[in-house]
Amino acid sequence: MARKLRLESKGGVYHILNHGSKGLPLFRAEKTREIFMRCLNEACEKTGWRVHAWCLTANGYHLALETPEANLVEGMHWLQGTFSARLNEQRQTSGRLFKDRYKSLVVDPAGGLGALCHFIHLQPVLTRSVPLAQLGSAPATSVSWLMAPALRASWYSPAAALNQVGALRDNPPGRKKYLSYLTGLATDETAQAQLRFAKMSKGWLIGTGKFAKKMQRDHGTALGQGQKLARKRQNTQESVWQETMEQLLRKLGRSTKALAKEGKSVDWKLALAAALKSRTTVTNRWLGTTLQMGNLHEVSRKVAAWIRQPDAALVRKLS
């Protein structure tokens, strides 16, 4: 059976979620949460994403994610792949971490995003991962960032959550009122039903009927063209990687011809690969083929070793 087409667009807003494989706990360990959040931070810096709410439960994650560019698929491929690789390396294990592909629901910015933020903020409580009394300070949810601005990453915005609750201001009184609202909402099943909590992770869209019709009009022509659009996305990604590589080669005073003439593990190739990985969502497979550095496993191993002991002169050239 063909995979469902991922809808993505400039300025798109999504509910992204996934769960651990075989129902096993994934995020109970603090170290695991730290690795995921570092990966999320890097993904947002690479893609320009904005996150309106996030949480880590014992067995999964939820994101309220906005993509200024149409790069949801590219960014999520990098985020989940990189997190899985790093966690397996840290645990000295192998195998899949997640139950399935991530799920993405399109979200109406005006008619669904605020309620989705509340839903995500309360997931650690509703799944009994975090006691309600600790919600405001628990590191497993962006509520802690909302309450303490000093903790916030540059890509996080609390505006959607605050605006949905009577246009609260992002100041101490406004944050206190929001936490009080969440505390009440956690046990108010009627209010949860009005906000459609039960449908936040089901179907393909969160929002009004008018928004759903608009999405069907805007994306209707894409139905049945999954493979064609996937190839188009891949070509777009690779053109960005190629352009960035050529810019970096010029900084090194080299041309693409030098890629075929010199060995797989010369320092400048390793520096180039590391720079590309820090700036884009480039894959090890593409690096191995384009930079002629061997298979993807060789690239991963050699570049990781170079990053641990970089050549300072090459780093300065590429900065």
Give Cα separations from 61 to 42, 126, 170, 196, 252 (angstroms).
Answer: 17, 13, 25, 19, 40
DSSP symbols for 145-198: HHH-GGG--TTB--HHHHHHTTS--SSHHHHHHHHHHHHHHTT-HHHHHHTTGG
Bridge partners, 228 (sequence order): none
C-alpha–C-alpha distance, residues 48 and 86, integer Å: 22
What is the per-residue pLDDT for 33?
95
Q: What is the C-alpha to C-alpha distance for residues 222 and 287, in angstroms, rounded to an integer?
A: 30
Q: Mean pLDDT, 10 residues at a time, over the chain (319 residues)?
A: 65 96 84 96 97 95 96 94 91 82 94 97 94 94 97 98 97 98 97 96 91 79 53 68 87 88 89 87 88 88 88 90
- Chain mean position to CA 8: 14
CA-closest candidate to residue 170, choices 181, 154, 159: 159
Between CA 150 and CA 93 the distance in angstroms is 35
Please answer whether residues 29 and 58 qualify as being in contact, where contact means their C-beta atoms are separated by less than 8 angstroms: no
